[in-house]
Amino acid sequence: MSLVSYAVPVPKVARITLNRPDRRNAQDTELLYALNDAFDRAAHDDGIVVIVLAANGPHFSAGHDLREPDPLSALAGHPTVGTGGGFTGPGASAVMAREEEIYLGFSERWRNIPKPTIAEVHGKVISGGLMLAWPCDLIVAADDAEFIDNVVAMGVNAVEFFNHPYEFGIRKAKELLFTSAALSAADAERIGMVNRVVSRAELTEATMSLAAQIAEQPPFALKLAKQSVNAAQDAAGRPEAIRNAFALHQLAHSHNMQVHGMVVEPDFLRRFTRG
């Protein structure tokens, strides 16, 4: 079974679908590289104007797959996309190199695809799941969608793609991180993180209708409009803020390794395993 499916259901629109429903689309190394390949395929196809990211199963994504048995070795079968290295290095270097490649690196790469992207989300969007939805330009959510970053409960500052202040606003970002609480689809729309909320039954139709409408615009103008908005956000310091938060994320991993012998809090991992 393919971990990610690819289709062109209407002209000019590629539909990429996460297809690991038995694991609630938890992201192991293989899924993330398959997703990156699918994004590359759509980005390089001049016949595609808009890219939709959706998911099979009850939830959009449960985040990183904490049960992946040997995540560092899983990188060996893939040519690296970024310019980093150190995947077999000692101490914290290998963990940092992996996360820089497939978490921060992929998310930033997908954000900058020069075509409009739309996340079609439903159910739970937990921690690493945000790093799939947030790089997309637009988000259409089912009314049952919930957005959660519970990484502070793991003993870390937040997920690796630290877009929280730009998605939630400063005070809401702090509240949601400090409490590990969920943000409903309705509240996400109210604060501007989500563009539209529809019923679960209407989700795919509404998303594809929006994608088809955008796909009728001139592709080069869409590319320039996206670059203009992204540049405005970046000029305000977003890249530096994300890199700083990523470095603190790695510090937290190193701290947890020294104190607990693992990169996250053991109490959280025990609760996760029982769940």
pLDDT tens column, 29-68: 999 999 999 999 999 999 999 999 999 999 999 999 988 8
> The whole model's pTM is what?
0.95
The pLDDT value recorded for residue 160 is 97
Cβ neighbour number for residue 65 with a 10 Å cutoff: 21
Structural domains counted in the chain: 1
Question: Which of 130, 135, 139, 110 lies closest to 41 in space, CA to CA?
Answer: 110
The pLDDT value recorded for residue 101 is 92
Summarised one tens digit per residue, pLDDT across range 146-185 is: 999 999 999 999 999 999 999 999 999 999 999 999 999 9
Task: Report the CATH number at residue 80.
Answer: 3.90.226.10
In 47-179, which ranges are E strands? 50-55, 117-121, 124-126, 138-142, 146-148
Report whether pLDDT(209) > 70.
Answer: yes
What are the angstrom distances between the C-alpha of 114 and each of 42, 51, 67?
11, 10, 34
CA 53: distance to chain centroid? 10
Q: Which domain holds residue 45?
A: 4-274
Summarised one tens digit per residue, pLDDT across range 184-197 is: 999 999 999 999 99
Q: Judging by beta carbons within 10 Å of its beta carbon (0-12, 13-18, 19+), is residue 263 exposed, middle or buried?
A: buried
